[in-house]
Structure 1
Amino acid sequence: MQLLNTLYVTLPEAYLHLDNDTLRVEIGRETRLRVPLHHLTGVVTFGHVNLSAPLMHRLAEEAITLTLLDTHGRFKARLEGAQTGNILLRQAQHARAADPTFALSTARACVAGKLKNCRQVLLRGAREAKDESDRQALERGAADLAASLRALPTTENLDALRGTEGEAARQYFACLNHLIRADQRPHFRFEGRTRRPPRDPVNALLSFLYTLITHDCRAACEAAGLDPQLGFLHVVRPGRPALALDLVEEFRPFADRLVLSLINRKQVTPQDFKTYEGGAVLLEGDARRNVSVAYQERKQEAMSHPLFEQTIALGLLPLVQARLMARAIRQETAGYLPFTFR
């Protein structure tokens, strides 16, 4: 099975160029890495990374997406080849997006997947909690998410659904601090989600990993022949990969779990972050590479999919879900089934 292999280049002043059918990474004329192009589906660069024109042309020809992020992981640009995919599928996608019933049903499924997975994060934390007050707070949070899940079928339109999802997300993030080890809380206290810019180290990690997941989900949409710009839950805006963001929702709890592991295992430290004028807190230097490596390693882990009788690598799940979305759009299934874990 093909894994969504992505090369993340975080080394400053790295030079990427084409060497026959291989991508070569050099630092000061010293070769650091060679990767055969047929092993790649995407390349993501951070900050001041140089690329040769022949390499960019070849990446476009091979349908290997190149994503440029700034030093702090914010999206800057994306290079991709000629538009591919089944035009009939894209026509069906536009038709389904214009169908209020289908759009609402699909958006509900995306939100349900997210809330179920968030709830599992809290329940797992409650089972492992050593402090009684933490356990009770996490159990209350899980109960609140269960109530939000019960309310989803009664939402009558997308605005109401987004309101329910937003309130559930607020309740979930209010519990996240209880999942951080007590000895780490003075350094990684989390009081709620902040973004654009993140205001504390936990939010900086969340934003960074959400960016990586969005890249994978967008690539998965394109691989399935879907238009990543046209979604159901997220409002369509120029330059916004709305469908990719719809898929991202069910995978956000995976990023949350990785953030918690990195903090609780002391794989990141307060020194890995820098506070900028205006209050922005961002992941710095080698820490970006370490977190990227941890993310790639997590993608190798096997998960049990509710539809299949076999385990699937986490890195493959966005592609599987994009194909399930395509089947729902073609009306080959009763609707979209999000991935949920136990």
Structure 2
Amino acid sequence: MNKNYYLFSNGILSADQSVFRFDGKDGKMVRIPVEGVSAFDLYGGVSITSGALNLATQHNICAHIFGYYGNYLGSFWPKEAYFSGDLTIKQALVYSDYKRRFSLGMKLLKGIQRNMYALLKKYNGNVSDLELNVTDNTIEALMLAEARMRKLYYSQLDEILDDDFKIGARKKRPPTNYGNCLISFGNSLLYSEFVTQSRKTSVNITIPFYHSPESGRFALALDLSEVFKPGLVDRMIVGMTKQGIIRASNDHFHDIGNGILLNETGKKIFVENWENWMNMASYNVIFKRKVSHRELIKMEIHKYAKEIEEIEDYNPIKLPKD
């Protein structure tokens, strides 16, 4: 099974024939068979040789680079393997059709709301005030409605989380408490997973329908990942903190100025649980087989492609289902 490889240490990523090789500054060397790699997530000071980039290009493997705060910075993006000029044009036409953009944005927000409801109800949280109030037919109104709804959602999520991990006001760079730190780190992992899975589709991940298509980011990944945040990121954080897998201490975090970040141990624990969570599978009635959370992300991108091709209306996924 292909998986993401997370490199937290400083070192050099190179290629030794058809195998990746990572030489850490601590003197340790790891050989990584190319057949087992879905993507690289780089958190340390990693130098990448041209041989490693060439091997990654041959096997359609991207490398995501993260900053000091665990925030996504960018990706090495090999040449497109499944590029479709026709689909790209259709995506651009959808973006230029304001009425259709608004309709898709409303579907997205209802999907986000449904998944927020599902997570809060799973933990017996209060959903009575979690309303979606859109004042007019503009994208700006949708974003304001989402911001209000998300603020209410986080306040209700705080009633479920242990005191040490309450979110309070959402702060990102740097995160100002343990709860904000975990959410920012998890959201970055989800975003990079969408970018990775988009490589296996013909969708142009740079053309959104909700967020603006700013340079330097894969805006469609921002759109589609929003609906997965409650059921994947937030649910995992609730589980990890309640089980004591992640602790609010120097064992897993460290202070930086006015913020708090996961230390290397904390990051390793988080991504180990994230990978297990991504590979966790449940029975899918449509495909009549077990489907992992990672596959669900790729399927969501395909579902959006069907909307663009006018084959099938896009209906955001519902998570959690149990």
Tell me, yes or no, whether TM beats 0.5: yes
What is the total number of aligned residue pairs between the two structures? 315
SS at match of 1:68: strand
1:165 matched residue in structure 2: 146
Alignment of 1:62-81 (within 5 A): 62-81=59-78
Pick from 119, 123, 126 the counterpart of residue 125 of structure 1. Answer: 123
Aligned to 2:256: 276
Give 1:300 shift: 1.4
The 1-side partners of 2:201 and 2:245 are apart by: 35
Which segments of 5 or more consecutive residues in structure 1 lack a partner in the other structure?
Answer: 127-137
Distance 1:220 1:276 in 2: 33
Given residue 63 of structure 1, which amino acid in structure 2 is its aligned partner? N
Q: Deviations over 1:74-131 (max 9, x none)?
A: 23332112234111011111111111222112212222221111111110111xxxxx
1:37-52 matches, within 5 Å, as 37-52=34-49
Distance across 2 between alignment mates of 1:92 and 1:205: 37
2:299 aligns with 320
What CA distance in whole angstroms lies between the structure 2 residues aligned with 1:208 and 1:257? 14
Counterpart Cα distance in 2 of 1:18 and 1:86: 30
Partner SS state of residue 143, structure 1: coil
Question: Is the partner of 1:41 in helix, strand or coil?
Answer: strand
Per-residue CA shift, 1:254-301, capped at 9, x if unaligned? 101111122111111221222222x12211121111111110010111
- Residue 210 (structure 1) shift: 0.5
Question: Corresponding residue for 2:227?
Answer: 250
Query: 2:111–2:227: 8 Å Cα contact kept in structure 1?
Result: yes
Tell me the distance in 2 between the aligned counterparts of 1:211 and 1:193.
Answer: 15
Confirm or deny: 8 A CA contact 2:57 2:78 kept in the other structure: yes
What is the percent sequence identity of the aligned residues?
19
Alignment of 1:55-134 (within 5 A): 55-84=52-81, 85-126=83-124
Matches within 5 A, 1:161-200: 161-181=142-162, 185=163, 187-200=164-177
Distance 1:24 1:197, change over 3 A: same
Q: Kindly provide the amino acid, as one letter, of the partner of residue 67 in structure 1.
A: H
Query: 1:229 and 1:20 mapped to 2: Cα distance?
Result: 33
Tell me the TM-score normalized by structure 2.
Answer: 0.91
The correspondence for 1:330, drawn from 309, 317, 321, is 309
Gap change, CA 1:305 and 1:249, over 3 Å in 2: farther
Tell me the residue number matched to 1:219. 196
Q: CA deviation at 1:232?
A: 0.9
Cα distance, 1:192–1:175 mapped onto 2, change above 3 Å = farther
Separation in 1 of the partners of 2:318 and 2:181? 25
Residues 15, 21 of structure 2: 8 Å contact kept = yes
SS at match of 1:295: helix
RMSD over aligned Cα, in angstroms? 2.0
**In structure 1, how many angstroms separate the alpha carbons of the residues matched to 2:208 and 2:13?**
34
Q: For 1:69 and 1:191, locate their aligned partners in 2 and report how far apart those are by CA, in whole Å.
A: 25
- Whether the 8 Å contact between 2:66 and 2:74 is mirrored in structure 1 is yes
Judge which range, 106-115 or 287-296, deviates more. 106-115
Runs (5+) with no aligned partner, structure 2: none
Distance 2:5 2:173 in 1: 25
Question: Are 2:277 and 1:298 aligned?
Answer: yes
Measure, in 1, the Cα distance between the counterparts of 2:165 and 2:120: 18
Indicate how the Cα distance of structure 1 residues 306 and 122 shifts in structure 2: closer, same or farther if over 3 A, else same.
Answer: farther
Q: Which has the higher helix share?
A: 1
Are positions 1:144 and 2:141 aligned together?
Answer: no
Secondary structure of the residue that 2:80 maps to in structure 1?
coil
Q: CA deviation at 1:172?
A: 0.2
Q: Deviations over 1:193-247 (max 9, x none)?
A: 2212211111011101100110111222332122212111112211122101011
What are the equivalent positions in structure 2 for 1:258-273 lying under 5 Å apart?
Answer: 258-269=236-247, 270-271=249-250, 272-273=252-253
| SS of equivalent to 1:197 | coil
* C-alpha distance in structure 2 between counterparts of 1:189 and 1:30, whole Å: 38
Are the counterparts in 1 of residues 74 and 216 from structure 2 also a CA contact under 8 Å?
no
Give the whole-Å Cα distance in 2 for the aligned partners of 1:265 and 1:6.
25
2:314 & 2:224 partners in 1: Cα distance? 11
**Aligned residues of 1:193 and 1:203 also touching (Cα < 8 A):** yes
> Which position in structure 2 is the counterpart of 1:206?
183
